[in-house]
Chain A
Amino acid sequence: MELAPALQLREVSKRYGARWALVRLSLTLERGAALLLTGHNGSGKTTLLRVLSTAVRPSSGRVEVLGIDAARDPQGVRAEVGLLSHANFVYEDLSGLENLEVLARLLGVRVSAAPGALERVSLSPKDDRPIRTYSAGMRRRLALARLFLKQPAVALLDEPFVELDPDGVSELETRIRELRAAGTTLVLATHHIEQGLQLCTDRLHLEQGRSIAA
């Protein structure tokens, strides 16, 4: 039996009030592929990632992730997708390890995997300071650790290089290559086009919510 593609969008539109963030967007991405998403600020990249992650519902059109209809079974899609977004989804009063332990318990994975996920992004599991004392770069690393702990089949990365120092950027590139080698389907939205092209197989350029040939 032929496996459904990792992502399939048919005529997907999203409207916020009077403004269209996505306009009749269609897309198919095979499993294991890596899509580079480019476009100016406000072109619809973040909205597309949020629609794919089911954080927001499209105004019209159909979204399928690994053959799961996002409108009918959003929880099924969420179990397969990991989103690295501008928000870090963490609790400021807890330490990095405590945040990951809560996540591990909610994911049903071993809590003992949490320290390893932190070390993978060069954060110390022994650092018991609350997140509110972390720098922007450390928060970004913690958000990445959340993604690695979940090990999603489809990883959606929204500007992952932002706020990372040069070492962090190079480390993240290595981690993204590891994700790809493990068969994870990747959608990477970034303004760092050269870095993105090195990591991705396909490209989609958005302008005012429409797909434009890059």
Chain B
Amino acid sequence: MRLPGLVGSTWVLFRKDLLVEWRSRSRVNALVFFSLATLLLFSFALGPDTALLRRNAGGYLWLALLLASVLALGESFRVERENAALEGLRLIPVDARAIFLSKGLANAVLLTALGVLLVPVLVALFDVRVVLSWGRLLTLVGLGCLAIAAPGTLYGAIASHARARDVLLPLLLFPILIPALVAAAKGTTLVFEGDPMDQLPSWISLLGSFDLLYWGLGVVLFPRVVEE
């Protein structure tokens, strides 16, 4: 028996997490419909003012993703709580950092796919146009979802031990995510509205720095969270 290293274990668990998500497609479907309903509710709440809807579309996209992320993160740890699967991984033994990296990446992939799916809905509902390149929009969506996934996975693990876990996760997560949410929403609005002052690189840098900080913190702190 020769245990795989950090990268090998992360890859095995990442594939397992995606396979579990694929097998339980009803959960993914629920996530998609929840996000769509959120966007629809924003449009109904603000009325038929197209200019207002278009101006705020970036913010609505990220609010929909943020609210959906709470469901996705909670669900990903419910799967690990069931049959004490997370404890089983620890006792194999799997490096706890690999558990964090794989689960965080799987959550980021799921949210990014959801984000990509929501953009055409924004175009249809809020009459937005992608003025800058689609590549920049994808970069923003990817970095923003990585920013939600890292602290979300860390706090998801903390909250999964608590009785009021469904309330605790957003309480812990939302305040931390404010800088990332602002950067992602502002950047997305620039992609939709145009960027005459060339501000987009600054927002992307802020998101990238947030990602580096929280993925690093997660790798260091997650092993302490999952050990007794």
- Chain A positions within 8 Å of B, measured between CB atoms, are 53-57, 74-75, 78-79, 81, 83, 85, 87-94, 98, 102-103, 105-109, 130, 146, 150-151
Contact = CB atoms under 8 A, between A and B. Distances in A.
A102 B4 contact: no
B22 to A, nearest CB: 9
Interface stretch (B48-56, B78-86, B132-140, B186-194): B78-86
A79 B90 CA distance: 10
Given A78-B90, A105-B4, A107-B92, A91 B79 contact: yes
B92 A103 contact: yes
A87 B19 contact: no
B1 A107 contact: yes
B163 interface: no
Given A57-B228, A90-B85, A92-B83, A75 B93 contact: yes
Contacts of B90: 55, 78
Interface string B1-42: 111100011001100100110011000000000000000000
Contacts of B3: 79, 106-108
Of A54, A56, A85, A106, the most chain B CB neighbours within 10 A belong to: A106
Interface size class of B (residues with CB under 8 A): 20 to 34
Interface string B187-228: 000000000000000000000000000000000000000011
A103 B89 CA distance: 9
Contacts of A85: 84
B127 interface: no
Contacts of B164: none
Contact of A93 (B20, B92, B93): B20
B24 A93 contact: yes
B79 A93 contact: yes
A84 B126 CA distance: 55
Contact of B12 (A74, A83, A88, A105): A105
A89 B4 contact: no
Nearest to A92: B82
Given A87-B84, A90-B83, A102 B16 contact: yes
Contact of A89 (B79, B84, B93): B84
Contacts of A57: 228
Contacts of B4: 105-106, 108
A75 B96 CA distance: 10
Contacts of B19: 94, 98
A129 to B, nearest CB: 11
Given A89-B84, A106-B9, A108-B3, A130 B23 contact: yes
Contacts of B12: 102, 105-106
Contacts of A93: 20, 23-24, 79
A151 B23 CA distance: 29
B32 to A, nearest CB: 18
Interface string B82-103: 1111011111111100000000
B91 A81 contact: yes
